[in-house]
Amino acid sequence: MKSLQNIKNVYFLGIGGIGMSALARYFKFTGLNVAGYDRTQTVLTDNLQAEGIDIHFEDDIRNIPTKWNPLETIAVYTPALPDEHKELAWFKEQPIGLFKRAKVLGLISNEKSGVAVAGTHGKTTVSTIVANTLNNTANGCGAFLGGISKNFESNLLLPKNESPWIVVEADEFDRSFLHLKPQLALITSVDADHLDIYGNKEKIVESFEKFISQIKPDGKLVVKKGIDFDAVGKTEAEIYSYSIKEDADFATVNLQLNTAGGFYQFDLKTPDGIIANCKLNYPGLVNVENAVGASALALLAGATANEIKAGLENYQGVARRFDIRLKNEKYVYIDDYAHHPEELKAVISSVKALYPGRKVTGIFQPHLYSRTKDFSTGFAASLDLLDTAIIIPLYPAREEPMKGVSSEIIFNQMKLEDKHLVSKEETLEILQTRDSDVVLTMGAGDIDRMVKNIEEIFKNKS
């Protein structure tokens, strides 16, 4: 299938995923019939149901709409589904187009001037800042985001007009980003991850090289300076670099932390000159770096200096990305999606820089047996940066258990003295009884379900 013309019905297998739900919202907005399945009811699925999308939570083919014309219907699935999934198996036997989420996203975005943000971490923040900036330019933009933007209160931004620009996250998982052919692209990082898919880092690098080779011939590529990736000769696109501290095409100058306000001020160096007095109201040194990359993309897409400054200053963040949930004179509580050793290192270091001299307690839930096994040593080293570490049972997601793999293998390699390997319930008890200061929850599993309980603990203790 080369286009989505003549399609009237879309069924989603795994509709509650952050990327899947954005597509579901998009098709619902364009007037198509949308329904789907997910394993777990969440706030996100509740919101989709409130928007008129029929969702069920049992893997049962009897719940699939029967009145839809197969020739006018497609089914979209997430590669996280197991092969034995009953509904997925049913669709494989039907005369209905069955496509991965990435394929459908490519069909939508490749018809536009795509702005694709790739990298093993940082994609959601960079793409959301880009969308927030371009949204307020004359051309505007659309966006499919990997998190809930606090500016848009959604993971989908529909363009206000016939904008040429569409911002998407270029996800390396399952080589999904190879369905994209963007006009502009950015790479934040090329770290070893998803080794259950790739096997080794060399295969990951090859996949990123293939991705940048698909940038349109007159396109542009922005790469974070200092990462282990050489784009030269791998793409016809014009290549730029960005950095928070090194000499690059896009970089910060006169970077200062306003400790009272919790934000950073800087001048932005660009190939066209300096954009003075930029202000990022969203905290964290890691987010300054993300803001530099996002500003590079926005400028290359035609945003003016003033539009870039406005996009940074009014950026409100993304849920679960350095998300300050509570802050008062006694306590600070931050929730973050970090689930890779480098992400943990970045967010913990950012918190320590933002709150120097204060004790930081981190609560971490490992995500996937394979990732825990492959990076247990790295996780331990990153968590050792904390003053107190609390490790809870890992979240398996799509994977079956691996013998000998659990949160304990990270815990046992940690050198930090004040460390605890406990359940979620015991974690809440520790927070209630101990005098915490700055608390950070980290992980990509269901640790987010603890957020409201942790907020209440600190509100009651304040």
Residue 308: give its domain's CATH number.
Answer: 3.40.1190.10
Would you say residue 31 has pLDDT above 80?
yes
Which residue, of 71, 100, 129, is where some domain finishes? 100
Q: What is the pLDDT of residue 192?
A: 67
Q: What is the pLDDT of residue 8?
A: 97
Would you say residue 348 has pLDDT above 80?
yes
**Cross-strand pairs, 414:** none
Q: Do 214 and 137 share a structural domain?
A: yes
- pTM (2 decimals)? 0.87
Residue 322 buriedness (CB in 10 A; 0-12 / 13-18 / 19+): buried
CA distance 258 to 363: 27
Confidence of residue 462 (pLDDT cuts 50, 70, 90): confident
Q: Do 411 and 329 share a structural domain?
A: yes
Q: What is the pLDDT of residue 124?
A: 94
CB atoms near residue 424 (< 10 Å): 17
Domain assignment present for residue 1? The answer is no
Confidence of residue 109 (pLDDT cuts 50, 70, 90): very high
Cβ(33)–Cβ(54) below 8 Å: no
Would you say residue 17 has pLDDT above 60?
yes
**Predicted confidence (pLDDT) per residue in 32-47, tens digit:** 999 999 998 988 999 9
Q: Do 32 and 123 share a structural domain?
A: no
**Predicted confidence (pLDDT) per residue in 71-99, tens digit:** 999 999 998 888 889 999 999 999 999 99
CA distance 252 to 242: 9
Residue 433 buriedness (CB in 10 A; 0-12 / 13-18 / 19+): exposed
Q: Do 134 and 84 share a structural domain?
A: no
* Across 153-161, average pLDDT: 90
CA distance 412 to 364: 14
Residue 79: domain span: 9-100
Distances in Å between the Cα of 221 and the Cα atoms of 104, 147, 215, 217 are 23, 23, 8, 11
Cβ(250)–Cβ(296) below 8 Å: yes
Domain assignment present for residue 364? The answer is yes
Q: Tell how strand 165-170 and strand 142-149 pair up.
A: parallel
Would you say residue 437 has pLDDT above 80?
yes
Sequence-ordered list of residues with C-beta below 8 angstroms from that of 252, at least 6 positions apart, any chain: 244, 245, 266, 267, 268, 269, 288, 292
* Across 308-337, average pLDDT: 93
Q: Do 122 and 93 share a structural domain?
A: no
**Predicted confidence (pLDDT) per residue in 374-396, tens digit:** 999 999 999 999 999 999 999 99
Domain assignment present for residue 3? The answer is no
Domain assignment present for residue 28? The answer is yes
Would you say residue 123 has pLDDT above 60?
yes
Q: Do 199 and 254 share a structural domain?
A: yes
Confidence of residue 195 (pLDDT cuts 50, 70, 90): low
* Percent of the chain with pLDDT strictly greater than 90: 81
Token readout for 425 is 């319930």
Q: Do 172 and 243 share a structural domain?
A: yes
Q: Do 327 and 210 share a structural domain?
A: no
CA distance 149 to 146: 9
* Across 220-247, average pLDDT: 95
Residue-averaged pLDDT of the chain: 93
Q: Do 228 and 273 share a structural domain?
A: yes
Q: Do 119 and 21 share a structural domain?
A: no
- In whole angstroms, what separates CA 381 from the centre of its chain? 23
**What's the CATH code of the domain at 24?**
3.40.50.720
Domain assignment present for residue 318? The answer is no
* Across 261-270, average pLDDT: 89
The more confident residue out of 414 and 460 is: 414
Domain assignment present for residue 415? The answer is yes
Confidence of residue 283 (pLDDT cuts 50, 70, 90): confident
Q: Do 281 and 244 share a structural domain?
A: yes
Q: Which has the minimum average pLDDT: 178-182, 265-269, 318-322, 396-400? A: 396-400
Which residue, of 278, 313, 348, is where some domain finishes? 313
**Predicted confidence (pLDDT) per residue in 200-225, tens digit:** 888 999 999 999 999 999 999 999 99
Q: Do 418 and 382 share a structural domain?
A: yes
* Across 251-262, average pLDDT: 85
The number of distinct structural domains making up the chain is 3
Q: What is the pLDDT of residue 80?
A: 80
Domain assignment present for residue 182? The answer is yes
CA distance 329 to 333: 12
Which residue, of 313, 333, 365, is where some domain finishes? 313
Domain assignment present for residue 383? The answer is yes
Sequence-ordered list of residues with C-beta below 8 angstroms from that of 61, at least 6 positions apart, any chain: 86, 87, 90
**What's the CATH code of the domain at 343?**
3.90.190.20
CA distance 55 to 66: 15
Confidence of residue 2 (pLDDT cuts 50, 70, 90): low
CA distance 314 to 167: 18
